[in-house]
Amino acid sequence: MDATRPAAPAIAGLGLTEQDVIDAYVYVLARYLVIRQERTDIAEEGVDYNVIKFNQLGKAEFVNPNLDVAYLEAWIAVDERTPVIIEIPAVEGRYYTAQIMDEWADVLYNVNERTFPARPHGTFALCLKGSNPAIPEGAHRLDLPSKKAKMLARVERKGDDKGAVALQRAFRIIPAGKPTIEPAVEVPLFTNAAPIAVDAFARPMLTSVLDSAPDAMALAPGMRARAEAIADYVAKDAARRTAIDTVIKQKALPALVKFIRSDAGDNRGGWIATTGKPTGFGEDYWFRTAANYAGIWWNNNQEVVYFVGEKDAAGAPLDGANAYRLHFEAADVPQGHVNAYWSLTLMSLPDYRVVPNGLNRYGFNNRSKFQFGADGSLVGYGGGLAVKAALLRLEGARLASLGQLPLDL
């Protein structure tokens, strides 16, 4: 991307251009967003490291909630001597995955019958990479790049909530000792509406943030060097700090929002499809930050394709004062394009959470009772709420078919 940009003058005394500052800010923000989530999670009563939190069915107090599954989540903490043992039950006849992510929110593993066909369930030992702790005989070892990770597991409800909850509760973390656990880095608890700005480059916080977890991206050393140069620059005087803060607020944050709403995926009919990420973020740090900002714990395209709609078919932003019509031709009804299930959820911006309403109805899915047209088509209507975005989620999507899926909002 850098090679296609016209040359830009460097900021006086910094040796970096405004675009360099924008890119460095977007890069470091991804880690700040995960730390924010870690601190928020661990502060919740009854939540701790290496303890499973079994989320209540239908609970919508979650970023981009998936109301079609029984969720469970845990922050994993290991050290050189101490692994974490996880028991994953056998799940048959319904979608499930145990998604394990690193401290930048990139996917390390999805344990299920598709990605682990020889071992879709059973005992797994999560170990710090390069360590040699004792693990139970027969346990399958999974290496973690750093001392913490996040597990988010999903079990499809599939119209059988009792069975889904029984399977959810069958996941277990078995103590294997007491690892030394470093607390999450102290960062300001910013919001999406008021994100951290120039303070992201404050010393010594920036150093602690970047030291707290390795980044697998090959470009990480270069991006860190930029971030540290900016940190040195803003520390010298108030005028420089103000200049960088202005670049972030007036250019970096608007550019990130534009990227999320227009450039983060394949545009079609007002929707953005997060295709082209079969295994993880790769080197796309803009997409990583966008995913962490708009829906942390994004999963890769082997598991799900997200269609995010923030505009109508004419390109106008969605507005809750309007009514909208969503039309699927018979050949394009979503259940014909998935191997598991699909759902459509309405959300507010910029927090990407469901819109409270008297019906406690946040969307619909393949289990909803639809009245199809005589030709097999499906038409949905919505509006009248503080709707700013819609999320269509296709779990187990057959990727080859998505190019034939016209979605006009």
pLDDT in tens, 254-309: 999 989 888 777 777 677 777 778 888 999 999 999 999 988 999 988 888 888 77
374 or 209: which leads in pLDDT: 209
DSSP secondary structure letter of residue 316: P
- Element (H or E) spanning 101, and its range? strand 96-101
DSSP secondary structure letter of residue 184: P
Q: Smallest Cα–Cα separation from 98: which of 73, 76, 118?
A: 73
- Predicted TM-score (pTM) of the model is 0.87
Out of 2.60.120.600, 3.30.470.20, 2.60.260.20, 1.10.760.10, the CATH code matching 264-404 is: 2.60.120.600
Ranges of each domain in the chain:
2-37+185-261, 53-174, 264-404
Q: Is the pLDDT of residue 88 over 50?
A: yes
In whole angstroms, give the CA distance from residue 276 to residue 292: 17
Q: Is the pLDDT of residue 313 over 70?
A: yes
Q: Are 342 and 394 a contacting pair, CB within 8 Å?
A: yes
Q: Could you give the percent of the chain with pLDDT greater than 70?
A: 89
Q: Is the pLDDT of residue 213 over 50?
A: yes
pLDDT in tens, 169-210: 999 999 899 999 999 999 998 999 999 999 999 999 999 999
Q: Is the pLDDT of residue 393 over 70?
A: no
Q: Smallest Cα–Cα separation from 233: which of 392, 16, 8?
A: 16
> Under CATH, to which class is 53-174 assigned?
mainly beta
Report the C-alpha dihedral over residues 130, 134, 139, 140, rounded to 10 degrees. Answer: 0
Q: What pLDDT is stored for residue 4 in this prediction?
A: 55
Report the C-alpha dihedral over residues 346, 348, 352, 358, rounded to 10 degrees. Answer: -60
Q: Are 85 and 171 a contacting pair, CB within 8 Å?
A: no
Following DSSP, what letter does each residue of 8-35 receive, concatenated? -PPPTTT---HHHHHHHHHHHHHHHHHH
pLDDT in tens, 215-253: 999 999 999 999 999 999 999 999 999 999 999 999 999
Q: What pLDDT is stored for residue 401 in this prediction?
A: 38
